Amino acid sequence: MTTIYLKPHKEESVKRFHPWVFSGAIARVVLDADHQAAAPEEGELVCVRSATNEVLGVGHWQVGSIAVRILAFGEETLPKDFWKERIRAAYRVREAIGLVRNLNDTYRLVHGEGDWLPGLIVDVYADTAVVQAHSVGMHMHRMEIAKAIIAEVPQVKNVYYKSDDTLPFKAPIEGDKIGYLRHNDTSLRHDNEEFWSTENGLSFRIDWLRGQKTGFFVDQRENRALVERYAKDKDVLNMFCYTGGFSLYALRGGAKTVDSVDISQKAIDLVNINVAKNFPNATNHTAIAADAFEYLSKQKEAGKTYDLIILDPPAFAKHRDAVKNALRGYQRINAKAIEMIRKGGLLFTFSCSQAVDKEAFRLAVFSAAAQVGRKVRILHQLHQPQDHPINIYHPEGEYLKGLVLYVE
Ligand code: SAH
């Protein structure tokens, strides 16, 4: 196996279990005798050693500033049954926190670094796991990962692989980036027309074939439940609704009316399907395909107001250099929403941009309130749920933040 020697004292962060080795920390690369290429190949397993030859761990080699993502600390090679053990450990956490139960078969099984599996995301929907590789190394191990999931997660019978958008696009990649790795259920519902998954007792049609990400936003489960608690008798706007997660909880919570808005017509079709499935007699829900900024401006002109607004936009900043613009975007959209909230109403506002930290987001939201001259107070500070654990040695894994504001 190829060995990566670090510069003196550069082993500190790996010894503190930070899973990334940056290229600047590397002193030299020693290929093993029968190595085919003149340099390590993207995705191959390498052993990382300190300048004094101490074994630090084994991980996936990558081209770029993160050169190695460590899989097993203190090991020279991947231990036998590594994949099974890691998947089993991840599943045990989800069981321990009560996510695997009758009325809930939707959860994140593997959250990358948060489950000591850097570069891997796995979401479970009923009997199907959807796997996303964010590194070539994980792509190369996809068959073993699928096998381990089937062996370790009792409910899962099928594994779908969806990495066409997540793998580094310049990397030389062999094999399909999309398709079933395991498909034990040949029934028609796997064309996704009739595939349902349950979150806190609500049914959602999940379309991993055509949907965004793995097909559903698993990370808002707890925050949706909070909307349910506050929705009674309220006029609710769910902006950036996607498949209508927040809308269904608001309806179950007894909202007077719920408007769901998303720019994508496909998303709006799914919201309507989900509402019809859970509340077949509902007459108080409206789904609208529209741009958020335009919708809010038009409704304001028409004098429309709401008691509770949810703003869950896509990541405005995908990279650090886009943060300034993103903050302007958050301020703009929040100002528009706050303006439309009745006295004593609530705003649930979120950012899922990893590059925008809590404080910056909070400042953008407060600037928005000041801009439109409304007094606001923070009732809740929200974050990603417990099946998206943050590795304490890898704080970069924290991405979702939200505020619930009381608007006077
Ligand atoms: N709240 C959702 C997830 C939101 S994801 C949930 O709980 O599942 C962000 C959504 O914003 C996507 O569905 C995307 O189609 C939508 N979107 C992106 N740009 C938009 C815009 N300018 N106006 C309205 N919706 C937009």
CATH for 68: 2.30.130.10
Q: CB neighbours of 49 closer than 8 A, spacing ≥ 6?
A: 3, 4, 5, 6, 55, 56
pLDDT recorded at residue 188: 44
CA 275 to CA 244: how far, in whole Å?
8
pLDDT recorded at residue 281: 95
- Catalytic annotation, pick one of 270, 352, 360, 376: 352
| Domain span holding position 157 | 82-182
The domain that contains 129 carries what CATH number?
3.30.750.80
Q: Are residues 148 and 279 in the same domain?
A: no
- Determine, yes or no, domain membership for 210: no
Would the CB of 317 count as within 6 Å of ligand 1?
A: no
Whether the per-residue pLDDT at 193 is higher than 70: the answer is no
Q: Are residues 67 and 87 in the same domain?
A: no
Q: Are strands 158-162 and 128-133 parallel, antiparallel or unpaired?
A: parallel
Q: Are residues 250 and 317 in the same domain?
A: yes
Q: Are residues 372 and 250 in the same domain?
A: yes
Q: Are residues 324 and 400 in the same domain?
A: yes
Q: Are residues 146 and 261 in the same domain?
A: no
pLDDT recorded at residue 185: 65
- Determine, yes or no, domain membership for 194: no
Q: Are residues 298 and 397 in the same domain?
A: yes
What is the distance in A from the centroid of ligand 1 to the CA of 349? Answer: 13
Confidence of residue 169 (pLDDT cuts 50, 70, 90): confident
pLDDT recorded at residue 398: 93
Would the CB of 247 count as within 6 Å of ligand 1?
A: no
Q: Give the containing element (helix H, strand E) for 22.
A: strand 20-22
- Determine, yes or no, domain membership for 212: no
- Determine, yes or no, domain membership for 199: no
**Domain closes at, from 26, 49, 73:** 73
CA 74 to CA 67: how far, in whole Å?
18
Residue nearest to atom 12 of ligand 1 (CA): 242
199-238 pLDDT tens trace: 999 999 998 888 888 889 999 999 999 999 999 999 999 9
Would the CB of 267 count as within 6 Å of ligand 1?
A: yes
Select from 240, 246, 295 the residue to mutate for testing ligand 1; criterion: most ligand atoms less than 8 Å from CB: 240
352 an active-site residue? yes
Q: Are residues 395 and 280 in the same domain?
A: yes
Would the CB of 314 count as within 6 Å of ligand 1?
A: yes
* 357-384 mean pLDDT: 97
DSSP state for residue 256 in the 8-state scheme = S
Q: Are residues 154 and 287 in the same domain?
A: no
Residue nearest to atom 22 of ligand 1 (CA): 291
The atom number, within ligand 1, closest to the CA of 240 reads: 11
Q: Are residues 137 and 165 in the same domain?
A: yes
Whether the per-residue pLDDT at 262 is higher than 60: the answer is yes
Quote the pTM value.
Answer: 0.95
The atom number, within ligand 1, closest to the CA of 238 reads: 1
The domain that contains 222 carries what CATH number?
3.40.50.150
Q: Are strands 66-73 and 20-22 parallel, antiparallel or unpaired?
A: antiparallel
Q: Closest Cα partner for 394 from 70, 132, 168?
A: 70
**Domain closes at, from 162, 182, 202:** 182
Select from 262, 311, 312 the residue to mutate for testing ligand 1; criterion: most ligand atoms less than 8 Å from CB: 262
Confidence of residue 190 (pLDDT cuts 50, 70, 90): low
Q: Are residues 399 and 321 in the same domain?
A: yes
- Determine, yes or no, domain membership for 14: yes
CB contact at 8 A, 381 and 105: no
Q: Are residues 334 and 227 in the same domain?
A: yes
Percent of the chain with pLDDT over 70: 98
Whether the per-residue pLDDT at 396 is higher than 90: the answer is no
Could you tell me the CA-to-CA distances from 32 to 26, 36, 176, 329 in Å, in that order?
Answer: 17, 9, 29, 50
- Determine, yes or no, domain membership for 211: no
pLDDT recorded at residue 195: 87
**Domain closes at, from 155, 182, 209:** 182
- Determine, yes or no, domain membership for 28: yes
CB contact at 8 A, 103 and 201: yes
What is the distance in A from the centroid of ligand 1 to the CA of 312? Answer: 7
Q: Count structural domains, the chain.
A: 3
Would the CB of 238 count as within 6 Å of ligand 1?
A: no
- CA-CA-CA-CA torsion sign (169, 172, 178, 183): negative
- Determine, yes or no, domain membership for 196: no
Residue nearest to atom 9 of ligand 1 (CA): 314
